Amino acid sequence: MNSQLSCFIPVPAHSDFTIHNLPYGIFSRCKEGERRVGVAIGEWILDLAALEQAGILRLSEHECYFNQPNLNKFIESGSSNWHKVRRELQALLALDNPRLQHDAALQQQVLYKQQDAIMHLPVQISGYTDFYSSKEHATNVGCMFRDPKNALLPNWSELPVGYNGRASSVVVSGTEIVRPSGQIKLPEQERPVFSATRKLDFELETAFIVGKPSRLGQPIHIEDAEAHIFGMVLLNDWSARDIQQWEYVPLGPFNAKTFASAISPWVVTMQALQPFKMQGPVQEPRPLAYLQENVESSYDIQLSVEIQTPQSDSADVICQTNFKYMYWSMAQQLTHHTISGCNVNVGDLMGSGTISGSTKDSYGSLLELTWNSTTPLNLANGEQRSFLQDGDTVIMKGHAEKDGIRVGFGEVRNTILPALSFDFAEAVQVQHETV
Amino acid sequence: MNSQLSCFIPVPAHSDFTIHNLPYGIFSRCKEGERRVGVAIGEWILDLAALEQAGILRLSEHECYFNQPNLNKFIESGSSNWHKVRRELQALLALDNPRLQHDAALQQQVLYKQQDAIMHLPVQISGYTDFYSSKEHATNVGCMFRDPKNALLPNWSELPVGYNGRASSVVVSGTEIVRPSGQIKLPEQERPVFSATRKLDFELETAFIVGKPSRLGQPIHIEDAEAHIFGMVLLNDWSARDIQQWEYVPLGPFNAKTFASAISPWVVTMQALQPFKMQGPVQEPRPLAYLQENVESSYDIQLSVEIQTPQSDSADVICQTNFKYMYWSMAQQLTHHTISGCNVNVGDLMGSGTISGSTKDSYGSLLELTWNSTTPLNLANGEQRSFLQDGDTVIMKGHAEKDGIRVGFGEVRNTILPALSFDFAEAVQVQHETV
């Protein structure tokens, strides 16, 4: 445990980015600027590409790992390098190390204020899978949309239910989200209508990033699964509930989710999260053998959702929950993902599914918080929300804290833009009528 | 129409690879050899990388488009290049052109026998989506697994139902398929068991490859949709029916499909398919405006499935159908895919869904052909099949033919290997018992 580590760079109280964390991200100094690997420390970014160039952080004589537009090459280089870089950066930042601390010129080359940098997607995401591993969330959804008496489907307790998501539309925090349009079915009408979604929602999730590939036809053993994980991010799995309800039977959600999924820019490594490991919930029935774990595999990570409307001066916290409530672990998710032979690649993103706790203030979506609009949320400034309105900003935060050590994710933050005006559909309509 | 084109390379009767076709693929001369772009002509491959190097086929002074491990760079270069290369190759291969025809040394450099080459995945697939657009298939499945009286779900006739597939496990024809294992639920047991699938099935599909990207938040207009498509391949969407039935509610198929999806190695361009364009089925109800088309958008492509067992001397044709039966067109699929704002990338693969006709011999899966094992298939040598057995080979073929012009896909062919022996699961079991 590195509980005695002190950093020469001042780290504000309650900062997520302590010397115990050192999350990786991709930044540039201007919008079209060159993308590089950086590490967050306090309010700063340590530029690993510059450290590499200066010969201070070198993994190989000839290869650049950090002057890269994503983390994939570094991640692919393997876990011994992940450990090495963490050790070297903790040493370089340590209070007792003069190397960077007493070299103002070097500091100028390798340290940037986070507020001056632009963050990008940290990894090239080759595949995106989203699980559904919160028992509370699955039960809530089952109550609302299926049968309250049998809210949890029989397969849910036997396997970590998941589905393939759309990787192309995973975006980084800060990206504005255009309200999606599509087919929705109103109860009073026989046919669906084309409309902007009236039920735009967030889903509070975390996601892990695969760090070590597996081969087609070769499942990952449950005991090896964590070694295949590089780190975690926050994930807002944006959802259009009315589109979803009309389209999702029998093949699952599609347009309702593929318009955007947003992640936080800093990847917190599994090494940084080790102090916060804990036992997950008891699994009853006991899973089939291939899903059985012998070790602690959950994490104590506090999560919250805030909403800020255009009319409010500050954000309202509308959900507080914890990753530790997740029924299925990341190791179980990954093993199950590969059990029939599916291969995974470095950069694959695997979402937890919405993380809801057992109390109403811990539900991870507006669908649950407002029970599908039946109990709207009252915000501090007097406004109400059932689902999101244009201009609303959703902010998700997450951090772990124990024995004076804090390791956090920063945030994923997105603002809603109005729907497209769709002369699109009308143009076709008109044209067709006149042919 | 190029109906008068003659090729100096002899093209056998009934060859899919005429001068009217010129499909693109990625080949190498040995297993670990360098991958390059080639075009199939008769029994030969024309090596475009060699033609580019020799200065005979150049798209740019400085860039190599064909000395590449996949088609993506060429496809990204745009449709004017697709047209240019097609024109130049048709001219180079024409009977009245001496350039290659009378240069034996050049022929040696640029022509390889297909039987001596190894074919690879033609594109780097950034996303894989599978639709469900055959009315006959959706009706058959609905009859078997849901309600025969309401086999087609209400959304089916309103939108091209689709779901995100798993891109990482898309493999090329020739890849051996390991029988997948996973959770299956036997009717007589309360809990699922871990088992190799007992219901391994194929799905006869075609797929199109996206040739022009779209931006996040910017739907593709139905009239522009075909211009975003580069070409088509055959697709066998391998399926484990028992795993699927247990897992698929509510988020769709996952392990049952992610173990492998196989495509034919030659990408037939939309240009080559133009002569076979035709009107698709009448759509009733008339689709919402954004899905309405003013032009013919189906294709007359004959498709078949053959099965060869280890005991038989030759393959049995067990399905004959046609792409023209598809209810939703590729343009409608692509427009619907992007309608809520999802972006597509060059190299995205979009499967049609199983293509079944209205008669029993035209069903595109064993699930339908044997009505979920109730009417097993009788093969010519006396064997029966309900689902696939280890050692079976499934061969899918497809071609279009009209006015003496033939344009075909070749085949997608895979053989089933036995399931893994899974000391995997047992090891965990034993270990856990002794802790």
Radius of gyration of chain A, Cα coordinates, nearest whole angstrom: 22
The pLDDT of residue B432: 39
Q: Rounded distance, CA A148 to CA B43, Å?
A: 62
Residues A50 and A167 both lie in one domain? no
Q: Is A252 on the interface with B (CB under 8 A)?
A: yes
Domain count, chain A: 2
Is residue A66 situated within a structural domain? yes
Average pLDDT, chain B: 95
B197-221 pLDDT, tens per residue? 999 999 999 999 999 999 999 999 9
Residues of A in contact with B221 (CB under 8 A): 424, 427-428
The pLDDT of residue A332: 98
- For chain A, what percent of residues have pLDDT higher than 70? 96
Ordered DSSP codes for A210-253: E-S---TT-PPPTTTGGGGEEEEEEEE--EEHHHHHHH-TTT--
Q: Is A51 on the interface with B (CB under 8 A)?
A: no
Which residue in the list A20, A62, A83, A137 is annotated as catalytic? Answer: A137
- Residue B2 above 80 pLDDT? no
Is residue A267 situated within a structural domain? yes
Last residue of a domain, one of B87, B120, B153: B120
What are the binding residues of B for Mg(2+)? 237, 257, 261
Q: In this complex, do A222 and B146 lie within 8 Å of one another by their Cβ atoms?
A: no
Is residue B184 situated within a structural domain? yes
Per the DSSP assignment, residues forming a β-bridge with A263 are A172, A235
Angle in degrees, CA B232, B233, B239, rounded to 5: 130
What 3 state SS string does A81-126 have? Answer: HHHHHHHHHHHHHECCCHHHHCCHHHHHHHEEEHHHCEEECCCCCC
Domain limits at A286?
Answer: 128-417
Residues A196 and A284 both lie in one domain? yes
Of A127, A194, A246, the CB nearest to B168: A127
Min CA distance, A206 vs chain B (Å)? 19
pLDDT grade, residue A146 (50/70/90)?
A: confident
A59-79 pLDDT, tens per residue? 998 999 999 999 999 999 999
Q: Which of residues 282-301 of A touch B (CB under 8 A)?
A: 285, 288-290, 292, 294
Residues B223 and B94 both lie in one domain? no
Residues B42 and B183 both lie in one domain? no
Structure tokens, B168:
């990482």
Cα distances from A227 to residues A214, A293, A331, in angstroms, run: 11, 14, 9
Q: Is position A290 annotated in a ligand binding site?
A: no
Residues A211 and A252 both lie in one domain? yes
What are the binding residues of B? 130, 132, 146, 203, 205, 237, 244, 248, 257, 261, 354
pLDDT grade, residue B154 (50/70/90)?
A: very high
Residues of B with a known catalytic role: 137
Q: Is A147 on the interface with B (CB under 8 A)?
A: no
- Residue B352 above 90 pLDDT? yes
- Residue B434 above 60 pLDDT? no
Residues A116 and A142 both lie in one domain? no
pLDDT grade, residue A210 (50/70/90)?
A: very high
CA dihedral A238, A167, B154, A186 (to 10 degrees): 20
Is residue A11 situated within a structural domain? no
Q: For the domain that residue A402 is a member of, what is the CATH number?
A: 3.90.850.10
| Chain A: residue whose CA lies nearest to B424 | A221
Q: Rounded distance, CA B87 to CA B91, Å?
A: 6
pLDDT grade, residue B4 (50/70/90)?
A: low
- For chain A, what percent of residues have pLDDT higher than 90? 94
Q: Is B258 on the interface with A (CB under 8 A)?
A: yes
Average pLDDT, chain A: 95
Cα distances from A253 to residues A115, A238, A371, B137, B157, in angstroms, run: 36, 12, 20, 20, 17
Find the mean pLDDT for residues B390-402.
98
Is residue A5 situated within a structural domain? no
The pLDDT of residue A424: 52
Of A163, A194, A259, the CB nearest to B251: A163
For B15, counting Cβ atoms within 10 Å of its Cβ (0-12 exposed, 13-18 middle, 19+ buried), the class is middle
Q: In this complex, do B183 and A425 lie within 8 Å of one another by their Cβ atoms?
A: no
Is residue A423 situated within a structural domain? no
pLDDT grade, residue B48 (50/70/90)?
A: very high
Q: Is A144 on the interface with B (CB under 8 A)?
A: no
Residues A115 and A185 both lie in one domain? no
Q: Is B247 on the interface with A (CB under 8 A)?
A: yes
Structure tokens, A189:
């009408």
What 3 state SS string does B320-363 have? Answer: EEEHHHCCCCHHHHHHHHHCCCCCCCCCCEEECCCCCCCCHHHC
A218-254 pLDDT, tens per residue? 999 999 999 999 999 999 999 999 999 999 999 999 9
Q: For the domain that residue B54 is a member of, what is the CATH number?
A: 2.30.30.230
Residues of A in contact with B288 (CB under 8 A): 183, 192-194, 425
Find the mean pLDDT for residues A337-342.
98
pLDDT grade, residue B424 (50/70/90)?
A: low
The pLDDT of residue B431: 39
Q: Which of residues 101-140 of A touch B (CB under 8 A)?
A: 126-127, 129, 132
Residues B226 and B362 both lie in one domain? yes
Residues of B in contact with A292 (CB under 8 A): 428-429, 432
User: A162 and A65 in contact (C-beta within 8 Å)?
Assistant: no
- Three-state DSSP class for residue B118: strand
Q: In this complex, do A342 and B255 lie within 8 Å of one another by their Cβ atoms?
A: yes
Residues B254 and B401 both lie in one domain? yes
Q: Is B174 on the interface with A (CB under 8 A)?
A: no
Of B161, B192, B219, the CB nearest to A251: B161
Residues of A in contact with B423 (CB under 8 A): none
Min CA distance, A231 vs chain B (Å)? 20
Across the A:B interface, residue pairs with CB atoms under 8 Å apart total 242
Q: Is B254 on the interface with A (CB under 8 A)?
A: yes
The pLDDT of residue B5: 85
| Chain A: residue whose CA lies nearest to B184 | A155
B146 versus A275: which is more confidently predicted? A275
Is residue B18 situated within a structural domain? no
The ipTM, to two decimals, is 0.95
Residues A171 and A274 both lie in one domain? yes
Residues A139 and A184 both lie in one domain? yes
Is residue A4 situated within a structural domain? no
- For chain B, what percent of residues have pLDDT higher than 90? 94
Q: Rounded distance, CA B358 to CA B356, Å?
A: 7
> For the whole model, what pTM was predicted?
0.96
Residues of B in contact with A345 (CB under 8 A): 168
Residues B278 and B392 both lie in one domain? yes
